[in-house]
Structure 1
Amino acid sequence: MSSARLSELVSEFGMVERALGDPAVLAQPQEYTRLTRRHRELTPLVTLYRERETLQAELAGARSLLQAEADPELRELAGAEVQALTARLEELEAELEVLLLPTDPDDIRDVILELRAGAGGAEAGLFAMDLLRMYTRYAEGQGLTLNVLDAAESDLGGKQGRGRSDRRLCLPRPEVGAGVHRVQRVPATESQGRIHTSTVTVAVLPQVEQSEVHLDLLEVRIDVFRSQGAGGQGVNTTDSAVRAVYRAGTPDEIMVVCQDGRSQIKNREKALQILAARLAERERVAREASERSARASQIGTGDRSEKVRTYNYPQNRVTDHRLEGESKNYALESVIAGDLAGLVGALARAERERQLLDMGQEDAHAPA
């Protein structure tokens, strides 16, 4: 563990706390929000650091008592305390090491969550909306709001959905389950009671400012059209829906549709935000693929299967294929209802362990 890095972060925490008590900072909403977020990020690490400091002092006292005490019973008690404190300190060191791992700079951003129907036709569309409701309920449980930006519907339900929420909704991509989600169940359209398998793809796109991405508006075609709805008085009768197409007709084409609002200007702005995020994600994937290729020559590959999760309705079970043992299975009803805390926690721990392993492998293969 880097003691210097830990000391720097503890010092930063103290400065952030002092700044949050400064009336001048309270008058600056953006700066106050930034400091509040940083305070929240550093709190778990500083809490462990302070506990370690307390336990180290207690351990020093127990060791002194063990050396100075002549009474056998008291020596036995002091020895047991030394053993317990030493074990807890070892746990704290491991926990602090995990918290000192490099974090994804995108973790503090808002996200755009995209769910698209894959194989399975109308049933895949229905399941896409089931997942959108699941993530919405999870967000609500975290005290957040997932705003639906766009949802294309079929006669039976949603075909695809797109929402935006605070980055804390999903945590890093490995935890939210970016990838292919598979469902096994009897579709509403199945008259013979046969179980079908359908898929939905989930993408988590950190929202970026257009200034952060090279998005040449000359390469973007903007179309406007009348929003689609389910019927009734809620149908938008104005041409406010916006379709933004990047490099139309080329292999680089990206299409985004936004029709959740009645304002064409706001829909255009949101569509361009999503377009910038998807372009940034494409660049990130290409960059990471290049990095993995270079890294694989030293320590091998560690790619996961594209299928990340299976929702098995007959067995009332959700299986995350990136986990092992019993920790990979969860009650389907709870997960679909938005209770993702246990699953997200297990994935977060697995991802941190993977990072530690990767760091150890890289150190082992580093030039002497």
Structure 2
Amino acid sequence: MEANTTEPETSPSQSSASQLFSSQTSLPQQSPATTFAVTTPRSFVAELSLMTGLEPNNIIEVLSRMIYGSNMISNAGGSLPTTYRICNALFRGQEIPEKIAQNDFEYNEIRGHMEFRQIPVSPESIMQCYRETVQHAAAAKYLITKIVIQQRYYDEATFQQAHGILTHSTDLSRPQVSWADYGGYYRPLNAPYDPRFLISSQIPTAMFDMIGQLSGEMANLDGQQAMDENFYERISYACRFCERFIQIHPFLDGNGRMYRLFLTTLLLRAGIPPAVYGLYAYDRSRHEPVELACYLNGNQQPLGLQVLTPLGTNTHLVKFVVDHTYCRWKSPENDMSKFLRATGQGP
């Protein structure tokens, strides 16, 4: 159904849209790993605007579609208008409610999105979709702030902090695990076995090795000027490390969304706009074999460090990313119109 129809669009009035996330009600006490998800500095969009020379609305619209597409690939999050509204509020430094009530506009909009996608609807599943959207945007803001704006290098703590933000308040049902027990932690030794991924006991060593190589590459690229001539080379560099991250599969859940955030920050750091994909069923069907190509085909034995191939270039992933950066930072007119309506800035 989804491939042949367009999800119905609902938008609040201009006044109500501007007030959806302006409530100053106090939120429950949160751990340091998730504080960033609620209140953040207001300079995020201004800093990116200064770096890119783009209008804030343009930046927020493109990043929102990147987050929405990533969520759609992982069967997570709410609709595109919901994502637009949450990202606009969060990226501009507004406070985001921890929960939404059943009579809230967002609640009913997410319900409609789930019904359209034929996802079982319940108060719990609606809240989970809402949190997945909020936390994905918050994790993106955290990583872009640290890696792109502040020009810091990746370390293990950054990956774990971002994962803790991404999965905050999202419990797993299969296996049944509380978010507090897996968010921000590497995959445990007793995690379900999958021969495509590195065995759990070797994750810390593999991540340490990957980050060491990544730091050297980032330092080298930081000293070079981004030019159209080395556009493909810079995307290849980002994809090499994303492929290794996919093979390591360091976390119990959320690895797909984490790899796509990792890719976004590496591209932005290298002077390349984010790759936006996953919004439509056809696009998602193209992405699936690209991600599968990152695994070692036919491997049936526990994947250990000695089996991991040296960092190379996955041409399938590189081509896919190149194809999805062709618009650069451009917001298609139709998408910008949807963004402006969803955020109460247009008719």
Question: Which TM-score tier does this pair reach, normalised by the shorter chain?
Answer: under 0.3
| Structure ranking higher in strand proportion | 1
Structure number with bigger Rg: 1
Greater relative contact order (Cα 8 A, min sep 6): structure 1 or 2? 2
TM-score (structure 1 length as normaliser): 0.24
TM-score (structure 2 length as normaliser): 0.25
